[in-house]
Structure 1
Amino acid sequence: MSKIDPHTAASAAKETALPHGAAARRGPFRAGERVQLTDERGRMNTITLTPGTAYHTHKGFLNHDTLIGQPEGSMVESNVGQQYQALRPLLSDFVLSMPRGAAVVYPKDAGQIITMGDIYPGARVVEAGVGSGALSISLLRAVGDSGYLHSFERREEFADIARGNVETIFDGPHPAWKISLGDFQDQVVAQEAPGSIDRVVLDMLAPWECLDAVATVLAPGGVWINYVATVTQLSRTAEAIRADGRFTEPDAWESMVRGWHLEGLAVRPDHRMVAHTGFLMVTRRLADGVTGMTLKRRASKTDFAQEDLDAWTPAAVGERSVSDKKLRRAARDASSTVQTRRNISQAEADEAHGTLPEH
């Protein structure tokens, strides 16, 4: 009998053991999956392929059966000749078009959370709250089948929506995902062992209320990343982390994405952009018994000597002084301009009423 090369067998096993949900992203369109249709003007609509039904618009209809079995990237026509480009939605497309019960974490922020939070394959992660499941999908893709994501949500209806969205994009339940109902700070310490979690991701109104729970379950060196909407939340969370002493100095930022218009030589920024959506703040758990460092900061104004303050003059920083004479002349010029405009307006009004003065 011929011996089987273990390396060849391992390679074959890897090819057949695809990550969960990967098979649904390949091959021809199948009934029940979502397809993104783009018309000739660039307008996009997402439909769920259902045999025997049709997609209707003011420009005719397109039978779903026309798409089922076609390769991804096909061009199809409606009954009146309207052309559509058919592709599977990308994750960013899916998140913005999926059913939602709460505001979603935008793709630009989810990408930052995955990268700056160092979410890696096999990591053990907890998150709260789940909302509509947008961030959960990104986290599951990052941790993979061998990882672990435990999501906490207070509202059952949100959990149901998130569950449906996750199962839609992964073509079924994900083996690494667990979702629980209840308050995060109570449930996480009851369900997760101390120091057993690698990463904590919180998207909630008051993350500072979860300090003890996060410090309990997060392993030394683990990352805690917060997504908050307002400056007040950001400030209060940062000060609570500093006062607690079990974490490193927090680091915060926001990201903005501006698209570009590309058409021939008309290459310019888009007039609209995805600007502020939320703030991200990251900190790390220190070892037990260690107190976080108080970072040395620049001295405030009161810490400077008087001679330093005396040297801090407008001229010293390159600001050109303006003489009183020039200021008076500028004031006269401004008044003269205003008076001239008034005179012209009055003359136009008099002419309209036939009351011009005689010369």
Structure 2
Amino acid sequence: MTEPQNEPQPDQPTPTGAILRRGPFQVGDRVQLTDPRGRLHTIALEAGKQFHTHRGHIKHDDLIGMPDGSVIPHSSGSSYLALRPLLSDYVLSMPRGAQVVYPKDAGQIVTMADIFPGARVVEAGVGSGALSLSLLRAVGDGGALFSFERREDFAEIARANARIFFGADHPAWTVTVGDLVESLPQTVEAGTIDRVVLDMLAPWECLDVVGEALAPGGVLICYVATATQLSRVAEAARDDGGWTEPQAWESMVRGWHLEGLSVRPEHRMHGHTGFLITTRRLAPDTSAPVRRTRPAHGAYGDDYTPPQEEWTPEDVGERVVSDKRVRRTVRDLHREVDRVSGADPTADGD
């Protein structure tokens, strides 16, 4: 009888972070508690500790050793549902410096950019690391994610968030602090990158260096906040000539209320978070096919003048995080990393 080919082999190494995603709750695990009103509370399990609310407490020891999906009694007499937080839960609650890419957009990026196991991916910028976690999950331990971030403090926050989520430094991840245009040619060889993901103010300024790094047929996907940025990326790719016709879209997610006959859309929804635009790298010495569909009337009229000024986060409506808040976030994350790794938080450190 032929042995099934999809059975896990005992000598295969456990993928990074997988051990934290299954089995009974252990000391150090992050657990998401849902109260009777549906409110979420995330805790990190420690022996002898208690989770307190204004009505009472739950003992961590009552959770340790219990299977995922258990219902735990509260001292007030109510019950709380205990589950490991999903990646989508973690990125929305994790400490942050820069704004995060929402799960709905991260899922679109992973799918529409075709991020596959073993892929070599370039990402800029890193922000708080939310998208990086999804990309690392997709490329796996055998892939490579080269992330570029201009700010050292943001890179530090992203690294710490990843250590907490995966339980260790991910072997596929390299974080470079610096400008993508200057650092990318020194980090990767030309034509060796499968996918590029740009989450930055002016991605059109990076098309030359990204095009040099991408293998023929490689995918470039950009995440931008405004329609003006979207247009600039598309026109720059067309002017360059070494890319396929850009495709752009946005996604909106609307939850639904489900209770008996009261089945209706939720009053709140995640509306516009950003636009996504994709294009693929053409083979060397290949020109883009001539477009057979004419642009809309007036699209390139006499009044069409692409803006040339330097872009700032304020221009696209981004919230600017104060340096004081970023420093506090970095400090809190270092304490959490020390706790997860078992280090003594009172010991002297850098």
| Aligned-partner residue type, residue 40 of structure 1 | P
In the aligned structure 2, how far is the partner of 1:300 from the partner of 1:13?
Answer: 57
Paired AA for residue 65 in structure 1: D
Instruction: Note if 1:221 corresponds to 2:217.
Output: yes
TM-score computed with the length of structure 1 as normaliser: 0.79
CA–CA separation in structure 2 for the residues paired with 1:99 and 1:207: 26
1:154 and 2:145 correspond: no
What is the CA RMSD across the aligned residues, in angstroms? 2.0
Q: Partners in 2 of 1:301 and 1:92 — Cα distance? A: 42
| 1:83 corresponds to 2:79 | yes
Is 2:201 aligned against 1:205? yes
Shift in alpha-carbon separation, 1:286–1:33, aligned structure 2, 3 A: same
Once the two structures are TM-superposed, the CA of residue 82 in structure 1 deviates from its matched residue by: 2.8
What is the CA distance between 1:294 and its match in structure 2?
A: 3.4
2:264 match: 268
More helix by share: 1
Alignment partner, residue 63 of structure 1:
59
Superposed CA offset, 1:49-108 (max 9, x none): 122222111111112122111111111122222311000001111111111111110010
| Unmatched segments (≥5 aa) in structure 1 | 303-359
Q: Give, in angstroms, the shift of residue 7 of structure 1.
A: 7.0
SS at match of 1:208: helix
Residue in structure 2 matched with residue 189 of structure 1 by the alignment: 185
Helix, strand or coil for the counterpart of 1:142? Answer: helix
Matched, 1:297 2:293: yes
> What one-letter code is carried by the residue in structure 2 that aligns with 1:254?
E
Q: State the number of aligned residues.
A: 298
Deviations 1:119-146 (A, max 9, x none): 1111100100001111111001111111
> Deviation at 1:224?
0.3
| Aligned partner of residue 70 in structure 1, secondary structure | coil
AA aligned to 1:27 is: G
Write the letter of the residue equivalent to 2:97: G
* 2-structure distance, mates of 1:67, 1:146: 34
Say whether 1:113 aligns with 2:109.
yes
Deviations 1:278-301 (CA, angstroms, capped at 9, x unpaired): 000000001111121231224755
Structure 1 contact 59–82 (Cα < 8 Å) conserved = no
Select the structure with the greater relative contact order (CA < 8 A; seq sep ≥ 6). 2
SS in 2 for 1:141: helix
Deviation at 1:8, TM superposition (A): 9.1
Counterpart AA for 1:166: A
Q: Give 5+ residue unaligned stretches, structure 2.
A: 299-350
Distance across 2 between alignment mates of 1:21 and 1:299: 48
Report sequence identity in percent.
62
SS at match of 1:288: coil
Q: Secondary structure at the match of 2:206?
A: helix
Cα deviation per residue 1:160-218 (whole Å; 9 max; x = unaligned)?
A: 11111112221211111111110011101111100010000000001011011101101
- Distance in 1, Cα, partners of 2:127 & 2:261: 42
2:42 counterpart of 1:42: no
> 1:13 maps to which residue?
9
